[in-house]
């Protein structure tokens, strides 16, 4: 399982440029006018993980298969989108389909690139988008609660739970806060997710800075960092222009270019890592002579459910998981060495998979 991240923001903040760079395609037209992205462009990218290369080298794997994540480039929202302004509600619907929101904010000055509001103020831009999402949620909540009245009169338990959760979200939004601030009990989590409210999506602020600010950021990105910290959200600093240039280079050239720019790694790596942390994801590996492969799971996933990511039959017929910690696999130079050193463990159904585990599942067909 990978995850799907929607790239949102006001027009002309660098969303499509970033999308093109991340997916190494020109599928999203990056042009200097609003609404150049009419349909949401979808691109899949391999998740970079240096551990996978090390495992493949030791095992002599013929093929390396990284896990993947999906980016969805969603057209620029404007003030009034919740009321149908700009291209309106169709984009709000696209946001419902993603796991998290990468909110691109313009943190650069450039007289040649117009700003839809005629000024550069990333914090105000963030508030504009958040307000539109909150207004869209509020309208949705009011309609849904009105539709539940008849079922509530009949003491329908499911309707009661839904109305209670919708009321909590409504109270938060009317207080000027997104629905993600609502504390939800474990027994309500599934129903809460089913509501698919826009402001429950985790947010990662992406500060798009000029090339010269890519290493240290600037006053604009510092203001965003302060806002993100106050909200309990994350942020990353990226130059979409640099990412676009890197995407055209081979790995060796890209490394030299990054070094010249004073950067240790590409923005894509930081963005994915921040996304993983945001969604509480981690990676386990399967390794053999045929292939070395990475698999994405949520933190806290038990072994049978981790096996189910590969195939449903693995989960249904799960017997046990032969498990080696990544560091042990490397130190023992592979599976045989790990076995001999007593570092391979047989784990049962209750085992919670750890990030970096190298696993082999035994199951009944």
CATH of the domain at 313: 3.10.20.30
284, part of any domain? no
58, part of any domain? yes
Percentage of the residues of the chain whose pLDDT score is greater than 70? 88
How many domains are there within the chain?
A: 2
Q: Are residues 353 and 323 in the same domain?
A: yes
Pairing type for strands 203-208 and 234-238 reads parallel
36, part of any domain? yes
For residue 164, what pLDDT is reported? 96
Q: What is the CA radius of gyration of the chain?
A: 23
pLDDT, tens digit, 9 for 90 and up, residues 272-287: 888 888 888 999 999 9
Q: Are residues 85 and 53 in the same domain?
A: yes
Lowest mean pLDDT among 6-20, 32-46, 247-261, 333-347: 32-46
pLDDT, tens digit, 9 for 90 and up, residues 24-58: 643 433 443 333 344 557 888 888 888 999 999 99
Give the bridge partners for 318, in sequence order.
Answer: 363
286, part of any domain? no
DSSP 85: -
The 3-state DSSP class for residue 164 equals helix
Asked whether the predicted pLDDT for residue 238 surpasses 90, the reply is: yes
Parent domain of 138:
4-278
* Residue list for the binding site: 12-17
Give the predicted TM-score (pTM) of the model. Answer: 0.81
Asked whether the predicted pLDDT for residue 202 surpasses 60, the reply is: yes
Residue 69 structure tokens: 């994540």
pLDDT, tens digit, 9 for 90 and up, residues 62-98: 999 988 888 888 866 655 544 554 444 566 777 888 8
Q: Are residues 349 and 269 in the same domain?
A: no
Q: Are residues 144 and 239 in the same domain?
A: yes
For residue 232, what pLDDT is reported? 83
Residue 311 structure tokens: 């195939």
Q: Are residues 319 and 171 in the same domain?
A: no
318, part of any domain? yes
Q: How far apart are CA 50 and CA 73, in angstroms?
A: 27
Q: Are residues 126 and 10 in the same domain?
A: yes
Cβ atoms within 10 Å, residue 344: 20
Q: Are residues 265 and 330 in the same domain?
A: no
pLDDT, tens digit, 9 for 90 and up, residues 97-119: 888 999 999 998 876 665 666 67
For residue 126, what pLDDT is reported? 93
More confident residue, 41 or 138: 138
Q: How far apart are CA 68 and CA 39, in angstroms?
A: 22
Lowest mean pLDDT among 5-14, 89-98, 195-204: 89-98
Q: Are residues 240 and 355 in the same domain?
A: no
Q: Are residues 109 and 223 in the same domain?
A: yes
The 3-state DSSP class for residue 49 equals coil
Q: Are residues 108 and 245 in the same domain?
A: yes
Residue 294 structure tokens: 């990475």
* Residue list for the binding site for ATP: 12-17
- Cβ-contact 8, 95 below 8 angstroms: yes
290, part of any domain? no
342, part of any domain? yes
Q: Are residues 107 and 254 in the same domain?
A: yes
CATH number where 95 lies: 3.40.50.300
Q: Are residues 58 and 199 in the same domain?
A: yes
């Amino acid at each position: 399982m990978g995850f799907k991240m929607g790239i949102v923001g006001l027009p002309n903040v660098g969303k499509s440029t970033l999308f093109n760079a991340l997916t190494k395609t020109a599928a999203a037209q990056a042009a200097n006018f609003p609404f150049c992205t009419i349909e949401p462009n979808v691109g899949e990218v391999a998740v970079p993980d240096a551990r996978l290369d090390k495992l493949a080298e030791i095992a002599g794997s013929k093929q390396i298969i990284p896990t993947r994540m999906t980016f969805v480039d969603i057209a620029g929202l404007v003030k009034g989108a919740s009321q149908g302004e700009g291209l309106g509600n169709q984009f709000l619907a696209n946001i419902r389909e993603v796991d998290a929101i990468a909110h691109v904010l313009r943190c650069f000055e450039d007289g040649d690139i117009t700003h839809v509001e005629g000024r550069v103020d990333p914090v105000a831009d963030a508030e504009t988008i958040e307000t539109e999402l909150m207004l869209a949620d509020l309208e949705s909540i009011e309609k849904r609660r009105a539709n539940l009245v008849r079922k509530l009169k009949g003491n329908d338990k499911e309707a009661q739970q839904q109305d209670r959760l919708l009321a909590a979200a409504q109270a938060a939004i009317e207080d000027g806060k997104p629905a993600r601030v609502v504390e939800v009990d474990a027994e309500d989590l599934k129903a809460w997710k089913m509501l698919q409210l826009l402001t429950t999506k985790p947010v990662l602020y992406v500060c798009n800075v000029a090339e010269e600010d890519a290493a240290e950021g600037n006053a604009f990105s510092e203001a965003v960092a302060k806002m993100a910290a106050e909200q309990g959200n994350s942020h990353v600093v990226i130059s979409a222009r640099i990412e676009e240039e890197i995407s055209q280079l081979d790995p060796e050239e890209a490394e030299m270019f990054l070094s010249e720019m004073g950067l240790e790694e590409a923005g894509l790596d930081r963005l994915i890592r921040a996304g993983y942390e945001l969604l509480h994801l981690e990676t386990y590996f399967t390794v053999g002579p045929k292939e070395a492969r990475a698999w994405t799971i949520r933190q806290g996933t038990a072994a049978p459910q981790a096996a189910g990511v590969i195939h449903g039959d693995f989960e249904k017929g799960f017997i046990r998981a032969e498990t080696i910690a990544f560091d042990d696999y490397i130190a023992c130079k592979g599976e045989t060495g790990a076995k001999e050193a007593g570092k391979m463990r047989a784990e049962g159904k209750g085992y919670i998979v750890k990030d970096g585990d190298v696993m082999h599942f035994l199951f009944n067909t």
